[in-house]
Chain A
Amino acid sequence: MSVWIDSLLAVLAVFLAVRCLLAPTLPQCVFLFFAFGLALALAWARLGAVDVAIAEAAIAAGFLGVLLIDALRDFAAPRTHGETAQKPHFLTQVLLGAGLVVFLYVALEAVWNVPDGGGLTALAADNLPRSGVDHPVTAVLLNYRSYDTWLEVGVVLMALLALFATGGKELFRRPVVGAVDPLLRQVILFFTPVLFLVGAFLLYLGKTEPGGAFQAAVLWGAAGILLHLGGWPVFAAMPRWTRQVLLTAGFGFFLLLGFIFMSGGSALFEYPVAYAGVLILIVETLAALSIAAALTAIFAYFNGMKAASVENEIPDPS
């Protein structure tokens, strides 16, 4: 029975991916991509990876979906981009098809015959009492492999800086285009504290159950994005130094902690066993705040890109 459910889910994911790439219009493509992300999230829940399922549904389908829909405003002009596009040469198509078939065979062969190394499950389980948390995934993320997590917080910060480089760093200040529905404003005001509380709950829950810094960060980021859409640009309204501190707090504190304990003779990011739980909670909170601020800023920037292009278009006909 469960084999059937899993097979159906796998076929569904592949089907949605193919449909998404073959969709004739961009909005269809984006919504099929949402559906694909949620199918993947279900697959991960079936595989026992609840943390990954939450992260996928929240960040990859949710947050990226918001950015894609926002970008549709630039691209959704009813212009058929196929009219000027020539079909590639026949030989090119045949060679590409043949190459992909060979590659598919190699990939299937590779995943079918992957050597059985036993994995790191036993090692992770043995060290769990010394990690300061009870949930193995949180232990890996913030204790065994906190180097990866530290760099990841850095990557989000880098992505924001790279965005600022594409169109000028002041774009995130621009207000939302158009009037804001008063009903929407009230709903947003009602949901902001709820989102904040649920985020804080997920953050604390990460100690023992699936949940943690990233999931909390996305909820807090969602609150920031909603407030921005409701006409309260929280990120832009903050003083400059607050923005800088918020964005770099997670990355900076992580690094500071690593070096403090390194100077005491332990390895980088090796926490003393007695304080590990408290330290992980502090690091998680600061990392979640930083990522949430970065997500809000990325969205505000995207929104500002359209506002800037609308302003530029007005004097154009004259």
Chain B
Amino acid sequence: METYQIYSLASAVLFVVGLAGIFAARHFFKKIIATKIMGGGVFLCFVSFAERDALAFADPVPHAMVITGIVVAVSAAAFALALSRRIQQLTGQESFPVDE
């Protein structure tokens, strides 16, 4: 088993763990962290295939895309966090209301 295969399998598991977290978690905070874990899975998948296609160095295109992606994901998470704090401050709610 190659090194990259270990990480690409782990990336699939991480993605599903994050997805489960988004559905199962109630608190805004945990939902945001779950999306970050999903994103971590996607980035790990990219970087593991960059290692597979390595010649003298690993494929730099996925690396650059992942660096860009990390910054974009953090910007989106910061916005989500600000929205959730604002909702908490205005309504006292910390999770989405449940319909009966």
Contact = CB atoms under 8 A, between A and B. Distances in A.
Contact of B11 (A21, A111, A214): A111
Nearest to A6: B6
Contacts of B54: 48, 121
Contacts of A40: 40, 43-44
Interface in A40-55: 40, 43-44, 46-49, 51-52, 55
A298 B78 contact: yes
B68 A148 contact: yes
A21 B14 CA distance: 12
A64 B32 CA distance: 11
B71 A155 contact: yes
Contacts of A67: 77-78, 81
Interface centre among A7, A11, A119, A291 (most CB of B within 10 A): A119
A20 B8 contact: no
B91 interface: no
B17 A124 contact: no
7 contacts: A13-B10, A17-B17, A104-B12, A112-B9, A145-B65, A291-B71, A309-B89
A234 interface: no
A137 B63 contact: yes
Given A14-B10, A86-B98, A163 B36 contact: no
Given A100-B16, A111-B11, A159-B79, A60 B73 contact: yes
A21 B37 contact: yes
* Secondary structure dominating the interface of A: helix
How many of chain B's residues touch chain A, expressed as a range? Answer: 35 or more
Interface in A71-119: 71, 74-75, 79, 81-82, 85-86, 96, 100, 103-104, 107-108, 110-112, 114, 116-119
A305 B57 CA distance: 45
Given A74-B88, A166-B86, A305-B86, A119 B49 contact: yes
B79 A162 contact: yes
Interface of B: 1, 3-21, 23-30, 33-34, 36-37, 40, 43-45, 47-68, 70-79, 81-86, 88-89, 94-95, 98
Contact of B14 (A13, A33, A52, A68): A13
Given A64-B36, A166-B86, A21 B17 contact: yes
B19 to A, nearest CB: 7
Contacts of A103: 16, 19
A51 to B, nearest CB: 6
A60 B82 contact: no
Contacts of A120: 53, 59-61
Given A26-B29, A46-B3, A104 B40 contact: no
Contacts of A10: 6-7, 9-10
B36 A3 contact: no
Interface in A53-69: 55-56, 59-60, 63-64, 67-68
A43 B50 CA distance: 13
Contact of A52 (B33, B63, B75, B88): B63
Nearest to B8: A111
Report the 8 A-B pairs with minimum CB-CB distance, sorted nearest first: A119-B53, A159-B75, A10-B10, A136-B60, A107-B12, A140-B64, A21-B21, A119-B59
A163 B45 CA distance: 30
Given A6-B7, A51-B67, A52-B63, A111 B45 contact: yes
Contacts of A47: 3-4, 7, 47-48, 50-51, 58
A214 B47 contact: no
